[in-house]
Amino acid sequence: MSTDAIVLLREDHKAIRKLFREFEKAGADANTTKARVVDKIIEALTVHTYLENECMYPEVRKLVPELEDDILESYEEHHVADLLVMELATMKPEDEHFTAKTTVLIENVDHHIDEEENEWFPQVREHLGRKQLQELGARMIELRKKAPTSPAQPSALKKAVDAIIS
C-alpha cells in the first residue's frame, strides 16, 4: 500500500464518488438505501476532511506558499460540506429536503475533488518530493486511526467551529 499522501487522498475521493453514484442510482422511494448510503457518505467525508484539515492542508500551506489561496478556498469548501453533513446527520430520507440537500452536498464535493485533483495536486507533487509526500501520507494513516467518523464527535465539531472562526 502506498503512503503517498496524494495517492491516499485520491483513493478516498474514488470511494466517496462511488457512494455518491450509489445514492444517485437509488430510486425516489428507496429510503432505506438512501439512509444507508448517506450514513456512509457522512462517515467518509468526516474522516476525509479531518485528514485534509489536520494534516495535508497545513503542511501544504507551509511548504507551498503559492497555493495559499487554493488552500483557503478548500477550507471554505470543507466548511460548507461540514454544515450540510451536520444537517443531513439529523434528517431522515423521508424529510422533504433530504434528497435535495444530499444532491447539493454531492455537487459541492464533486467540484471540490475536481479542483484538488486537476489543479492543486499536480502543483503539490511538483513542489514536494516523493519522500515528503510519503512522510505526509504516513502521518495521515496514523491520524486516520483517531479521526472522527461522525460530525457529532468532539474532534469533528472542533474542526467545524475552527473553520467558522478562522
pTM (predicted TM-score): 0.89
Instruction: Give residue 151's pLDDT.
Output: 78
- Local confidence band at 29 (pLDDT 50, 70, 90 cut-offs): confident
Question: Inter-axis angle of helices 98-115 and 68-89, to 10 degrees?
Answer: 160
For cell 516523493, the residue is 130
Write down the pLDDT at residue 55.
94
Q: Which residue has the higher pLDDT, 21 or 156?
A: 21
What letter represents residue 98's amino acid?
A: F
Residue type, 40: K
Mean pLDDT computed over 10-16: 98
Rounded CA separation 50/157 (Å): 10
Place of cell 460540506: 81
- DSSP-based helix, strand, coil % in the chain, nearest 5: 80, 0, 20
Q: Which residue has the cell 495521515?
A: 140
Average pLDDT of 73-91? 92
- If one counts every other C-beta atom within 10 angstroms of the C-beta of residue 148, the result is 18
- Does residue 60 or residue 154 have the better pLDDT? 60
Mean pLDDT of the chain: 90
